[in-house]
């Protein structure tokens, strides 16, 4: 069934508009309490990132949940994966995250974890939506919920992160730059690394409510590249505002995205005989990664874009490792969701055990050139265009020309009226021409000017 309020990862938007208002969030808390609570004494955790509107929506959720008779345990600023972990270990009925991840401070959002620390199933989200459309009521006074503060939330999560690598391991002698994006990991990631013995240069670790993701973090990688080179560090770790994404920088200043990180972790586990099955990627996973993993005898399967789909496929295959180029890496044998700090520790552990640099650990993986052209739709319908036989024939022709040296993908944007045409292959000029062929056909079908296409990435 189509969701009315929830997107692929909770509810997100600009503060004060649409669904991101105190009135709606209070009703959302009430509806979630009705669905996720199990009567008097039920417990829901609330954590947030560092954006200033977190105070507003924390209070709104608290009011709604308490009105539904649910007790609230407030975690304060905590990374999204930390909230998932604490939801499990504190035996809560659910965990709620107030965050807009890598978005600027003017946005915010709400997402949920089940009692197992996993994203809510579709049927539970739909049940919450049904409650949202009902008039809000309040339980009798003697059944109202209470609010408590969890004072040791950060310490609990820090210890959990450290437990995901051997307790005997030390990073003494390593200099690491960590960029916390002025977000929820500002009081987590530097402490984890220092307690493991590393010399830490922390940047993006002074949140003021307005500077989250502003020129720092995994979406502004130039900042940490510069810092790694300036401090002559061994490597850099860049996180996003809520701590579930990871991008790394090696000692030469080169960027490692989610595909690079997946390759290193997968090969490390294969060498040590602890890789459970294959690796799950998405439609946007680079073809070069698939080729490199196959060379090692490791299967890669693809899902739709989004970590919830990666998790679903991992559970279906009973595998443990998956991720996407944006830096969402899921190590299911360590935790239940994408976790930037824990994923970084798996890579650091391999650097430590192998004695090789981060740059050297990428040997054997050659990223294929990729071009994405965005074709504006105007008033045309994306689904109808993509079903058109001429479009199908054009895509098939490109796929045949690439054969086993590349791939082609058409997908509608989830946020803009665009169709994205992505082509990967070994030859940059060839893929540009092939992507242009398909984009040109689409443009003629929507009566768009040839120069209206937008080059998204190369």
Q: What is the pLDDT of residue 327?
A: 96
Q: What is the pLDDT of residue 457?
A: 58
Domains and CATH numbers, the chain: 11-151 (3.40.120.10), 157-361 (3.40.120.10), 370-457 (3.30.310.50)
Mean pLDDT, the chain, rounded, equals 93
For residue 449, name the pLDDT band (cuts at 50, 70, 90): very low
Q: What is the pLDDT of residues 80-121, one digit of tens each?
A: 999 999 999 999 999 999 999 999 999 999 999 999 999 998
C-alpha–C-alpha distance, residues 452 and 59, integer Å: 45
For the annotated catalytic residues, the residue numbers are 101
Q: What is the pLDDT of residues 213-235, one digit of tens each?
A: 999 999 999 999 999 999 999 99
Q: What is the pLDDT of residue 458?
A: 54
Taking 60 as the threshold, does the pLDDT of residue 412 lie above it?
yes
Q: What is the pLDDT of residues 359-387, one digit of tens each?
A: 999 999 999 998 999 999 888 888 889 99
Average pLDDT over residues 140-154: 96
In percent, how much of the chain has pLDDT > 70?
96
Q: What is the pLDDT of residues 310-350, one digit of tens each?
A: 999 999 999 999 999 999 999 999 999 999 999 999 999 99
| Burial of 166 per CB tally in 10 Å (0-12, 13-18, 19+) | exposed
Q: What is the pLDDT of residues 163-218, one digit of tens each?
A: 999 999 999 999 999 999 999 999 999 999 999 999 999 999 999 999 999 999 99
Report pTM.
0.90
Taking 60 as the threshold, does the pLDDT of residue 448 lie above it?
no
Q: What is the pLDDT of residue 414?
A: 66
Q: What is the pLDDT of residues 13-53, one digit of tens each?
A: 999 999 999 999 999 999 999 999 876 679 999 999 999 99
| Burial of 51 per CB tally in 10 Å (0-12, 13-18, 19+) | buried
């Amino acid at each position: 069934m189509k969701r009315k309020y929830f997107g692929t990862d909770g509810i997100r938007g600009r503060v004060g508009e649409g669904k991101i208002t105190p009135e709606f969030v209070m009703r959302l808390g009430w509806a979630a309490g009705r669905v996720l609570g199990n009567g008097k004494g039920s417990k829901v955790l609330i954590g947030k990132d560092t954006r200033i509107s977190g105070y507003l929506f924390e209070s709104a959720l608290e009011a709604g949940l308490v009105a539904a008779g649910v007790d609230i345990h407030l975690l304060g600023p905590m990374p999204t994966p930390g909230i998932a972990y604490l939801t499990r270990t504190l035996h809560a009925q659910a965990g709620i995250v107030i965050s807009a991840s890598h978005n600027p401070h003017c946005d915010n959002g709400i997402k949920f974890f089940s009692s197992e620390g996993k994203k809510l199933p579709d049927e539970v989200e739909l049940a919450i939506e049904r409650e949202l459309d009902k008039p809000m009521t309040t339980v009798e006074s003697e059944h109202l919920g209470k609010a408590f503060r969890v004072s040791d939330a950060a310490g609990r999560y820090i210890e959990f992160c450290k437990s995901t690598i051997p307790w005997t391991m030390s990073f003494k002698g390593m200099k690491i730059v960590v960029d916390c994006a002025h977000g929820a990991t500002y009081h987590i990631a530097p402490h984890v690394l220092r307690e493991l013995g590393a010399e830490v240069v922390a940047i993006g670790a002074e949140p003021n409510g307005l500077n989250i993701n502003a020129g720092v973090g995994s979406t502004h990688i130039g900042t940490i590249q510069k810092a790694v080179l300036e401090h002559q560090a061994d490597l850099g770790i860049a996180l996003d505002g809520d701590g579930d994404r990871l991008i790394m920088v090696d000692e030469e200043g080169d960027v490692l995205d989610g595909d690079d990180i997946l390759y290193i972790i997968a090969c490390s586990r294969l060498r040590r005989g602890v890789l459970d099955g294959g690796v799950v990627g998405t439609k946007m996973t680079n073809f070069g990664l698939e080729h490199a993993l196959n060379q090692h005898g490791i299967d890669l399967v693809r899902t739709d874009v989004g970590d919830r789909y990666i998790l679903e496929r991992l559970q279906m295959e009973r595998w443990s490792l998956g991720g996407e180029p944006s830096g969402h890496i899921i190590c299911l044998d360590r935790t239940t969701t994408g976790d930037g700090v824990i994923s970084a520790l798996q890579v650091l552990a391999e650097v430590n055990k192998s004695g090789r640099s981060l740059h050297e650990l990428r040997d054997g993986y050659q990223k294929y050139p990729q071009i994405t052209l965005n074709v504006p739709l105007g008033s045309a319908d994306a689904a109808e265009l993509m079903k058109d036989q001429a479009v199908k024939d054009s895509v098939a022709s490109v796929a045949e020309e690439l054969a086993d040296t590349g791939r082609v993908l058409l997908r509608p944007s989830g946020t803009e009226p665009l169709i994205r045409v992505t082509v990967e292959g070994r030859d940059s000029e060839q893929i540009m021409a092939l992507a242009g062929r398909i984009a040109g056909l689409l443009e003629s079908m929507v009566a768009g000017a040839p120069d209206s296409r937008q080059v998204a990435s190369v």
